[in-house]
Structure 1
Amino acid sequence: MTAPLADRRLRVLHVEDSELDHQLILAQLRRAGLAMDIQRVDTLNEVRQALTMEWDAIISDYNLPGFSGLVVLDMVKDARLMMPFILVSGEIGEDTAVAAMRTGASDYLLKNNLTRLAPALLHAIEANESEQARMEADRELLRSKQRLHELAGHLQTSVEMERAAIAREIHDDVGGSLTALKFDLAWMARHAQDEGVRGRVQSALETVSHAIEASQRIMHNLRPAILEQGLVAAVQWMGARFEKRTGISTSISTSSEQIQLPPGVPLVAYRTAQEALTNVSKHANASKVTIELSVASGVLTLEVSDNGGGLTPGALAKARSFGIRGLHERAATVGGWVDLSSSTRGTSLILSVPLEAQRAEQLGQEEASAIEHDPSSWGSA
């Protein structure tokens, strides 16, 4: 914990050409009970060298041989140093003083009235240290947000890779076994003599067929192999299935039948559309959905709109509205963002991804390697 200023030994740089004035200021500060190490400099070279050291504050005369205190203040700013700067002068106009304060000076005093020097110095140091603490807290908050963002991106990628692994197991093990079982049942149905046996076998064949369809549906949901045909084909297939399943009229428009996209982007767009359609079927009470997919000026845009009742006020601010938050985090993994607007005439969700802004260096090594393995494609992982 930092000691109170009154108990600390302060390091002060004094820019002053007059030894007498230097002694007067030193005496005034000691009279106030302040313990300090104070160094006097009176040339720009000495100022420049002194600024390489650490100081609690700078006290500067305004009129110096060949330069002014404002020049010293500019040097402090150019060196990107955050330290209190108090301007002291025997003659300084109000306009000059105001300009100095606007430029970054902490305070200004006249040499014929130094009684306020010690309180002004302490106040300036305290304000400077509080500002530095606030800025460090802001930086730490930003770092924390960045770490959370990276974690969320990692989790999104990990989930997709886990889904891909499960889909492969269903395809290779469950799907293969069910298909083999269906062939065996079909053989039994052809060779069974008893009508009762044939009836039971036929019933088993129907059950296995339903199981195969269910496994295929689960595989598509876990890992959309349709993306191998391109994002346009995948969105068209998704829209057709959505319309067939829900009865909600779904229209799809695209700027091109084939859109070339960087790895990772097709899956993000697909999952965004999937989540949007899921929300429409659950909450929108809509009769029509429009999906627009386009690339213009190097930006992929996916918009899913409905004519439902819209979102209730505060729905997005709910503590557990993880679906929308997940969309934001998923979009961020490829440098994109999600905009959501809603009214009584419906809801519109827009995903935007700048395709030329895909920068692998902004991703952690783990995320970068995960994107190299695009979970939207089939193949060995």
Structure 2
Amino acid sequence: MSISSADRPLRILHVEDSEPDHELILAELRRAHIIPDVLRVDTLPGVEQALRQDWDAVISDFNLPGFSGLVVLDMVKALAQPIPFILVSGQIGEDTAVAAMRTGASDYLLKNNLARLAPALVHAIEAHQSERARQDANRALLKSKQQLHELAGHLQTSIEMERAAIAREIHDDVGGSLTALKFDLAWIARHAQDEDVRQRTQSALETVSSAIEASQRIMHNLRPAILEQGLVAALQWMAARFERRTGIATTVRTSHEQMQLPAGVPLVAYRTAQEALTNVSKHAHATRVEIELSIDSGVLTLELSDNGQGIPPGALAKARSFGIRGLHERAATVGGWVDLSSSNKGVSLILSVPLEANTDDGLGLEGLFTAMHDPSIWSGES
């Protein structure tokens, strides 16, 4: 239903010092089947007091006793929720009319051409309602995005907490049991007289050692204790393990051997590098990976690039392409962002984190892990 045919009266504030002109405005609106609920004021204090109420629109004369319609327009624009403003005058210069439109007036009319008043009023109110609906939708969208970012950050924190708890259980329960079993088997091997028993015991010792190594690997993937040595050392260790496991030449360059970083940032950088290297091993068909870590102008930058086949067009838009999306969300938890570029010469992933924006508001992810039991290396094995 259009405004002109609505049953609800339109609340209109009419700033006009002439009663006959006011009656002409009312008659024109009624002729257009608009039901007006109009208040006429002709003083600035009256305008100021009237604007405290809710109105659908303001219609104002230009020449008024002691002030002009442009002053009324400024008062309307100063409202928390500006409303449509239509300037009506018996005489108004073109330059003044254009200035009023540029300043924020919805329309301007001459008093000798009021036939256009109703369409102009309806159009202004509908445009205003559409703009308010758009602004409300944008605010709702921004709020939804903020809530999603907060949820993603909460999920990332929950995941890391769960990983730390699992790593602790592996160390305390599985690791402790395997270590005790290894000691018992070693004792049996030393005291057994039968050669077959010693051989079987030695075989069991090798199996237990492999299980301990597997537990250590799982534990380090769940909770990177190497981060306690610093981000640079952790990336060097990760790169060396990746190169041994995949055969892909991996180099690490850094601008600082030691970096003092806010809580949470090293873990985000570590997980970003971990995810990127996993993608390289699975999809890139690369023979070389370069990792560069630097701090410049208060921004930590981690760049990983490979010489692989690149990312196929449209791959990142797939419905289940969660890896890169997860990196974006993880970076956002510390105020950072991720840039990804791809060509037939390889892929480059850059994590940027402004360090000055990160303050230690509590334990953070890193502090949380440090406060938990430290899963140290078992039995001197590595």
Match of 2:25 in 1: 25
Q: Distance in 2 between matches of 1:157 and 1:248?
A: 31
The offset of 1:93, in angstroms, is: 2.4
| Residues 3 and 122, structure 2, Cα contact 8 Å, conserved in 1 | no
Matches within 5 A, 1:144-163: 144-163=144-163
Tell which deviates more after alignment, 65-74 or 256-265. Answer: 65-74
- The CA deviation at 1:35 is 2.1
With 186-195 and 93-102 compared, the bigger mean Cα shift is at 93-102
% of aligned pairs identical? Answer: 77
Residue 363 (structure 1) aligns with = none
Structural mapping, 1:122-133, within 5 Å: 122-133=122-133
Q: 1:379 aligns with which of 353, 366, 372?
A: 372
Structure 1: gaps of 5 or more residues: 361-367
Structure 1 contact 328–338 (Cα < 8 Å) conserved:
yes
- Residue 117 of structure 2: aligned partner: 117
Q: Distance in 1 between matches of 2:359 and 2:83?
A: 37
Instruction: State the TM-score, normalized to the length of structure 2.
Output: 0.93
CA distance in structure 1 between the partners assigned to 2:154 and 2:2 by the alignment: 39
Distance in 1, matches of 2:251 and 2:197, equals 48
Matched, 1:54 2:54: yes
1:140 deviates by: 0.8
**Structure 1 stretch displaced more, 314-323 or 73-82:** 73-82
Aligned ranges 1:1-381 → 2 under 5 Å? 6-358=6-358, 371=364, 374-377=367-370, 379-380=372-373
Select between 214-223 and 240-249 the one with higher mean Cα deviation: 240-249
- CA deviations on 1:112-149 (whole Å, 9 max, x unpaired) are 12122122212211221121112111111111111111
Q: 1:164 touches 1:375 (CA, 8 Å); kept in 2?
A: no
Question: Which AA in structure 2 matches 1:33?
Answer: H
The answer (yes or no) to whether the contact 1:84–1:105 under 8 Å persists in 2 is yes
Unaligned runs of 5+ in 2: 375-382
Task: Kindly provide the amino acid, as one letter, of the partner of residue 379 in structure 1.
Answer: M
SS at 1:52's partner residue? Answer: coil
Residues 1:4 and 1:65: Cα distance change in structure 2 (over 3 Å): closer
Of stretches 93-102 and 16-25 in structure 1, the one that deviates more from structure 2 is 93-102
Paired amino acid for 1:156: Q
Amino acid at match of 1:377: T
Q: Deviations over 1:80-102 (max 9, x none)?
A: 43211111011122332222222
Q: TM-score, normalised by structure 1?
A: 0.94
- In structure 2, what residue type is equivalent to 1:285? H
Inter-partner Cα distance in structure 2 for 1:87 and 1:81 = 19
Aligned to 1:364: none
In 2, Cα distance between equivalents of 1:314 and 1:119 = 48
Aligned length: 374
